[in-house]
Amino acid sequence: MREILGRRRRLRFRRKERTAQLDAALTCALEWDWPVLPGVGLKATTRAAARTSGGAGCACPDPECVVPGAHPFDPGLLAATTDERMVRWWWTRRPDAPLLLATGGSAPCAVSLPAVAGARALVALDAMGMRLGPVLATPTRWSLMVAPYSLERLGELLYAKDSVPSSLRFHGEGGYLLLPPSVAGTGQVRWERAPLAGSARPWLPDVEAVVDALVEASTGAPGGGSRLAY
């Protein structure tokens, strides 16, 4: 009897866990009007290990994938949508699939940087009294979500800097961002600063308001800065 009860508890836990991605995807698509799609995910044999230690293999055909589990594959990025029926169909078929946001256009953009630099940047921005939007965190990188920006505007902002750390990454038009509660090769994705529960579409700062602090924090972090070509 104990064995049966234990099995039932594990099954209930798995069902609850497997609805987390769908619930998050529906919140993004329906409440926040963010276009989403499922990521490629990890190999089933390494998915559990990725939650704690990272290093899991990507389910895509590339054996040397540099972003394991954390990118589009099938469907491709252009399939991102806010349609409820499509979102439900995707995550009913693949309940463990990572949740990807297609950035740019009318959707949020983001700037990501190494985790140490990200923590440093948040301290600096908080000290300035800067109002921040949602902030994502993995064991290796943090991402600050910002209002949509054009590549032209971003280029103008960065060109004015003496140097831009190569460790900074910009997720704009044609890009994507991994959202909680996804698990990628580097580990679990979480909210460092979560959107307010039950709120309307999350507020986002302008990239111009935060880019100076992100550049400065990244320049002082391991990896240094190098001039980017625009």
In which band, very low, low, confident or very high, does the pLDDT at 19 lie, cut at 50, 70 and 90? Answer: confident
How many independent structural domains does the chain possess? 1
Residue with tokens 């750390």: 165
Most confident by average pLDDT, 4-8, 44-48, 170-174, 199-203: 170-174
Tokens coding 41: 């995910």
Asked if residue 8 has pLDDT above 80, the reply is: no
Give the residue-averaged pLDDT of 37-56. 71
Q: For residue 42, list its beta bridge partners.
A: 58
> Residue 186's pLDDT is what?
87
> Residue 226's pLDDT is what?
39
Decide if 38 is inside a domain.
yes
- Rounded to whole angstroms, how far apart are CA atoms 145 and 153? 16
Give the residue-averaged pLDDT of 21-46. 92
In which band, very low, low, confident or very high, does the pLDDT at 166 lie, cut at 50, 70 and 90? Answer: confident
Asked if residue 3 has pLDDT above 60, the reply is: no
- Rounded to whole angstroms, how far apart are CA atoms 203 and 145? 9
Tokens coding 40: 């490629």
Decide if 51 is inside a domain.
yes
> Residue 17's pLDDT is what?
46
Decide if 8 is inside a domain.
no
Decide if 5 is inside a domain.
no
Question: By residue range, what is the domain housing residue 63?
Answer: 13-219
Asked if residue 56 has pLDDT above 80, the reply is: no
Asked if residue 20 has pLDDT above 70, the reply is: yes
Most confident by average pLDDT, 30-34, 52-56, 224-228: 30-34
Give the residue-averaged pLDDT of 113-133. 94
Decide if 6 is inside a domain.
no
> Residue 175's pLDDT is what?
95
> Residue 198's pLDDT is what?
67
Decide if 1 is inside a domain.
no
